[in-house]
Amino acid sequence: MDEDEKIIVTHLKNRGFTEQEIKDFLKREKESKAFRKKYREDHACCPKCGYDGHSTTLVAFVMVHGEYDKYKDRNDCVCSQCGDKHIAHDRVPLKNEENGKE
């Protein structure tokens, strides 16, 4: 259990959550964390030129547990390199040519 989880567990215990509820909560947290990481990686770069530097609006879009495939980050991004405008969801994974295979 990492520091973040310990804080969450303490917080939930103080609010009267049961062990099982806490367990379920942590499981969901883990899944959504993994999803967010993957999503960021899958939408890291400009769809036009592949550059990862960009500016973006910072609106949080609701992520529904169990419906991750429906999640769409609609923040507006502007590529720092070619100036292309697109939404975060339309960005593409970083091509990792240095490391080759995954």
Distances, alpha carbon 89 to alpha carbons 23, 49, 64, in Å: 31, 16, 16
Contacting residue, 48, 52, 68, 78, with Zn ion by CB under 5 A: 48
Contacting residue, 39, 43, 46, 91, with Zn ion by CB under 5 A: 46
Q: Extract the tokens encoding 55.
A: 């500016």
Residue type, 76: D
Determine, following the binding rule CB under 5 A, whether residue 7 of this chain makes contact with Zn ion: no
Contacting residue, 39, 73, 79, 88, with Zn ion by CB under 5 A: 79
Determine, following the binding rule CB under 5 A, whether residue 49 of this chain makes contact with Zn ion: yes
Phi and psi, residue 46, nearest 5°: -60, 130
- In this structure, how many other beta carbons lie within 10 angstroms of the beta carbon of residue 66? 8
Stretch that binds Zn ion, among 3-11, 16-24, 76-84, 94-102 (CB under 5 A): 76-84
User: Which CB atom, from 73 or from 91, has the smaller least distance to Zn ion?
Assistant: 91
User: Which CB atom, from 16 or from 53, has the smaller least distance to Zn ion?
Assistant: 53
H or E segment at 6?
Answer: helix 3-14
Give the residue carrying structure tokens 């292309």: 84
Residues forming the site for Zn ion (CB under 5 A): 46, 48-49, 51, 79, 81-82, 84
